[in-house]
Chain A
């Protein structure tokens, strides 16, 4: 087990405490971030993820609890005394300095020798591929370039932990995707612990070693990207990450980790259950659209196969999302790939079979 870089112990944060504008941003959050880890705080805006980052950086003070950085309390340290650096959402580059001066800023404050500063600045600028632009001013550069400067500036003092506050949100899609790979690679090369804040689930899944999904100032689930995607603990996590079908059901029988669930009046599905549910419990089933196979004639032998009709089609290019009505009030969204000629195999109103394996349908723990 890797060493713990940041230990967050029951941390609470209330803005304007005591006043009528008091706002609870974090509610007794605990989590441990390992050394050399790419850790992502994921959640919708207002969930407290940026607050948590600002508490680690020292821009805000905790209302309760404690934050340990490599096993040391940092409560009494100013931001300037903490061995962490931040990449800000809007970069916050110093407009009156060149790129090289921006990158050298932290090193100069640390009173490093001149030649070491020059070497480090050159090395870091090479790392983010900005060597040629060292003498430019920040506002002479594109958003993507400014992003790299911000990254270089935060990396130059070799922090123990790098905090990234939605650094990609201001970039356009293509650039964002390219930067994802670069960030991940940079993290691997430098071995620095990255704490990455984002509301973009695709970003989180693509880059992270582990993800903490947050909502309303609380952590909903911590786990690897596969964990979070495949085994969400509750409806919020399942809904926030990817597209999902939710089905309300009642458990009628249990056999090992497979349960039979009644949906509506007379439909029965079999689903995997990792939680401790009992017969008669009302539960939520979830099913990812890509796990559903749509076929014209029933084929499935060992699984679920249900007749339905197409009621809506959303075309996305490489795939389409079809809404299928199974009758008795059940609607499922399923993925369908276009055929080689580019046409979709099904049209509105078509009758078809919806098939999925038993293990694809899961009962949410909560």
Chain B
């Protein structure tokens, strides 16, 4: 036992945990502090920030200066934020509608086949998201895979305009994050005791009632986890909105990316990020409350 190591147990515990704190500090806390700090500085037109305290970035979220230097309300950015939340919710709901049956189907397969299906679900992760999103341009675009046959058969007369719409963004987001919905739902369905379904059908439950009264309530933790895992990255996504929304239909993620890359307004980008962080934290707090409630129920039941 080396003599320089602390001897009392609580210091030793700190020492053991030190690598974890170091990693969290460097890779999570530190960048966030930088972001928070930048959001309170002035923009440097050539990129970066000027080290001068300013709340301009936050004011810019909802107001702009008129010619006579008075603040007037400008909901432009707030609209984008609201649209982002709307589109993310839409993508999450679509993911849930498609993801749940997929997860349920996999659960019903024989055990040795389930891993194969899970493997199939994760295959898209092996290629770049950018490339996969480009593929959707070919599918949805003018004279694309869908439109061209319809046009040449005379079923439609002009382009459907599927690209560069909210719908296209929602499809892109759904496609990108569907696996993140399927996997946690599968994880909780896999633990489901299928004898409960027999018991329910013995007690006169129709197939629909078995689903709504037994299967869905018992897989709620997976459903909630899946929704969070899809909603949060959707909110910050910029590839799908940029490529499929054509850059005109901005979302929060692409707006942030735009501030850092083209507009050279780092403080405003940082302020937007902080706002997004706030939205995410609120969602997570709501989730934690729900989870606490249900685990408190389970804890009580275990004793």
Chain A contacts to B: CB under 8 angstroms: 57-59, 78-81, 84-86, 88, 90, 92-96, 105-106, 109-110, 137-140, 153-154, 157
Contact code string B285-303 (vs A, CB < 8 Å = 1, else 0): 0000000000001101111
Contact in complex: A86, B202 (CB < 8 Å) = yes
Residue from A110, A138, A140 in contact with B204 in the complex, judged by beta carbons closer than 8 Å: A110
B127 to chain A, nearest CB (A): 39
Complexed CA–CA distance, A81 and B204 (Å): 6
- What residues of chain B lie closer than 8 Å to A81, measured between beta carbons? 204
27 contacts between A and B (CB under 8 A): A57-B202, A59-B201, A78-B201, A79-B202, A80-B201, A80-B203, A80-B204, A81-B204, A85-B203, A86-B198, A86-B199, A90-B195, A92-B195, A92-B196, A92-B198, A94-B196, A94-B200, A105-B203, A105-B205, A106-B204, A109-B204, A109-B206, A137-B300, A139-B298, A139-B301, A140-B300, A157-B204
Contact code string B175-209 (vs A, CB < 8 Å = 1, else 0): 00000000000000000010110111111111001
Complexed CA–CA distance, A89 and B11 (Å): 52
Which 6 residue pairs of A and B lie closest in terms of their CB atoms, listed nearest first?
A: A106-B203, A92-B199, A109-B204, A137-B301, A79-B201, A139-B301
Contact in complex: A80, B205 (CB < 8 Å) = yes
A230 to chain B, nearest CB (A): 37
* Given A88-B195, A94-B196: A137 touches B297 (CB 8 Å cut-off): yes
A116 to chain B, nearest CB (A): 15
Complexed CA–CA distance, A94 and B217 (Å): 10
- What residues of chain B lie closer than 8 Å to A59, measured between beta carbons? 198, 201-202
Q: Which chain B residue lies CB-closest to A103? A: B203
B100 to chain A, nearest CB (A): 17
Q: A84-B202, A105-B203 are in contact. List 16 more A-B contacts (CB 8 A).
A: A58-B202, A59-B198, A80-B202, A80-B204, A85-B202, A85-B203, A86-B198, A88-B195, A90-B195, A95-B218, A95-B301, A96-B217, A106-B203, A109-B206, A140-B301, A140-B303
Chain B contacts to A: CB under 8 angstroms: 193, 195-196, 198-206, 209, 213-214, 217-218, 297-298, 300-303
Q: Which chain A residue lies CB-closest to B220? A: A96
Q: When A and B form their complex, what is the total count of cross-chain residue pairs whose Cβ atoms lie within 8 Å?
A: 70
Complexed CA–CA distance, A79 and B301 (Å): 30
Contact in complex: B206, A80 (CB < 8 Å) = yes
Q: Name the residue in A88, A109, A157 with the highest tally of chain B Cβ atoms < 10 Å from its Cβ.
A: A109
- What residues of chain A lie closer than 8 Å to B217, measured between beta carbons? 96
Q: Which chain A residue lies CB-closest to B206? A: A80
Q: Name the residue in A80, A137, A153 with the highest tally of chain B Cβ atoms < 10 Å from its Cβ.
A: A80
Complexed CA–CA distance, A196 and B82 (Å): 61
- What residues of chain A lie closer than 8 Å to B204, measured between beta carbons? 80-81, 106, 109-110, 157
Residue from B199, B203, B218 in contact with A96 in the complex, judged by beta carbons closer than 8 Å: B218
- What residues of chain B lie closer than 8 Å to A157, measured between beta carbons? 203-204
Complexed CA–CA distance, A57 and B217 (Å): 25
Complexed CA–CA distance, A92 and B218 (Å): 13
Complexed CA–CA distance, A155 and B279 (Å): 50
- What residues of chain A lie closer than 8 Å to B198, measured between beta carbons? 59, 79, 86, 88, 92
Complexed CA–CA distance, A134 and B209 (Å): 23
Residue from B199, B205, B206, B303 in contact with A88 in the complex, judged by beta carbons closer than 8 Å: B199
- What residues of chain B lie closer than 8 Å to A154, measured between beta carbons? 202-203
Q: Which chain A residue lies CB-closest to B302? A: A139
Residue from A58, A95, A109, A139 in contact with B203 in the complex, judged by beta carbons closer than 8 Å: A109
